[in-house]
Amino acid sequence: MLKNIFIVLISVFLVHISSNISYTIEPDEILNDQKQELRARNISKKIRCVVCQNQSIDESNAPLAKDLRILIKNKIKEGSSDKEIYKFLTDRYGDFILLKPPFKLSTLMLWFMPFVFFIIGILFLFYHNKKSKKFN
Amino acid sequence: MNKQLIIIPIVIFSLILLTFFYLLSIERNPSNIPSNLLEKKVPNFESESLLKNYIFDSSKEFNDEITLVNFFATWCKPCKEEHVYIKRFAKEEKIRVIGINYKDSTKKTIKWLGDLGNPYSNVLLDKNGRIAIDWGVYGIPETFIVSSEGIIKYRHAGPITKKIYKKINKIIMEID
């Protein structure tokens, strides 16, 4: 019984994933050259849909996401490098359009604060334990 | 020593709480994306004009007066709501108002402007949304203020309300 439920759940999950892929990228968008298509998909997965904000343009159905996907594909066909495409997009929409924030001076806090908090936590635990041991 | 250490997480937690409450209390829209084009030159683009028979070249057009650039479409309801303020801007002497018609039908736009009034000194056509991407537009309506040197000074995403109308007027006074 449990096994059957598990199989049904896995099937639903897989159907959901495959359907998601099929309705975001439309057939007329797909490039003939597989290598170029793969490059475009990889870039699209790293670009935030500025309309939906929590999705990449690869997953989003928003018209602007489609426009950006087509633009990326056209840029690839014209011979632009990945770096040039990212620059083109961030020049217009800022770093916000990148799903992964870039590592630079203004984002140092974002990258390092979790580690700082982690170290503070460890130090706190360390001193706390030391004190308890002494007390015992 | 132990007492001193206990203060650290309390202080950190209080700071985090204060930050949350501060961000909740101030007026801001987290879905608003800051424009990356502020204090930069207007993007280079060419476009057909809806009512004039010529090609608009941005590199030659933003060099003499303060310009309000408004992205709009007939299918966009908030554009209709803000139209009254665009008309008010058009009556002001200090600025020129340009409309960029986003992914729309020419026929419907001519009728729309005929019904509501045409405040634009020029209506440019952005049939495939490419010009909007160059301006970093992510939803219409969006309005930009461009200085007489062709520098983007302000961007408002969303419809112009009475409050935004006043704010834009203040900005125009400042850059004049």
- What number of helices (H) and strands (E) belong to chain A? 5, 0
Total number of residues shown for chain B: 176
How close does chain A come to B154, measured CA to CA in Å? 14
CB contacts < 8 A (A, B): 52
CA distance B69 to B60: 15
Least confident of A85-99, B23-37, B123-137: B23-37
State residue B2's pLDDT score: 61
Pick the residue with more confidence: A4 or B114? Answer: B114
Q: Does A68 touch chain B (CB under 8 A)?
A: yes
Q: What angle do CA B38, B45, B117 make, to 5 degrees?
A: 85
| Portion of chain B with pLDDT greater than 70, in percent | 96
Interface test with B, best of A52, A90, A93 (most B CBs within 10 A): A93
- What is the pLDDT of chain B when averaged over all its residues? 91
CA distance A102 to A117: 21
**Across the interface, which of B36, B103, B139 has its CB nearest the CB of A92?**
B36
For residue A120, the chain B residues in CB contact (below 8 A) are: 8-9, 12
Q: A93 vs B130: CB contact, 8 Å cut-off?
A: no
Q: Assess whether pLDDT exceeds 60 at residue A19.
A: no
Residue B150 domain-assigned?
yes
For residue B152, the chain A residues in CB contact (below 8 A) are: none
Strands B55-57 and B66-72: unpaired
Report yes or no for ipTM above 0.85: no
Task: Kindly provide the b/e burial profile for residues B51-67, where b requires at least 16 CB atoms within 10 angstroms of the residue's own CB.
Answer: eeeeebebeebbeeebb
For residue A66, the chain B residues in CB contact (below 8 A) are: none
Q: Which residues contact A8 (CB under 8 A, 6 or more apart)?
A: none
State residue B3's pLDDT score: 67
Q: Does A55 touch chain B (CB under 8 A)?
A: no
Q: Which amino acid is at A87?
A: K
Domain region containing B82: 37-175
Q: Assess whether pLDDT exceeds 80 at residue B75.
A: yes
Residue with tokens 């992510």, as numbered in its chain: B138
Q: Which fold has domain A2-102?
A: Helicase, Ruva Protein; domain 3 (1.10.8)
| Portion of chain A with pLDDT greater than 70, in percent | 88
Q: Which residues of B touch A (CB under 8 A)?
A: 1-2, 5, 8-9, 12, 31, 33-37, 43, 103, 128-130, 133-136, 138-139
Question: Encoding tokens for residue A109?
Answer: 């806090």
Residue B11 domain-assigned?
no
State residue A17's pLDDT score: 57
Neighbours of A25 (CB within 10 A): 18
State residue A103's pLDDT score: 86
Q: Strand, coil or helix: what is B22?
A: helix
Q: Assess whether pLDDT exceeds 50 at residue A129.
A: yes
**Across the interface, which of B9, B31, B128 has its CB nearest the CB of A124?**
B9
Pick the residue with more confidence: B32 or A84? Answer: A84
CA distance B31 to B46: 30
Interface test with B, best of A28, A55, A92 (most B CBs within 10 A): A92
Residue B27 domain-assigned?
no
Q: B134 vs A92: CB contact, 8 Å cut-off?
A: yes
State residue B111's pLDDT score: 96
* DSSP state at residue A47: B
Least confident of A15-19, A32-36, A57-61, A64-68: A15-19
What is the separation of C-alpha A29 from the centre of its chain, rounded to a whole number of angstroms? Answer: 21
* Bridge partners, residue B49, by sequence: B124
Average pLDDT for B51-64: 89
Task: Assign residue B81 the CATH number of its domain.
Answer: 3.40.30.10
- Per residue in B7-29, pLDDT (tens digit) is 877 888 899 999 989 888 877 77
* DSSP state at residue A56: B
Interface test with A, best of B133, B135, B137, B140 (most A CBs within 10 A): B133
Q: Let me know: does B72 contact B79? Beta carbons within 8 Å.
A: yes
Q: Does A53 touch chain B (CB under 8 A)?
A: yes
Q: Assess whether pLDDT exceeds 90 at residue B103.
A: yes
CA distance B9 to A80: 49
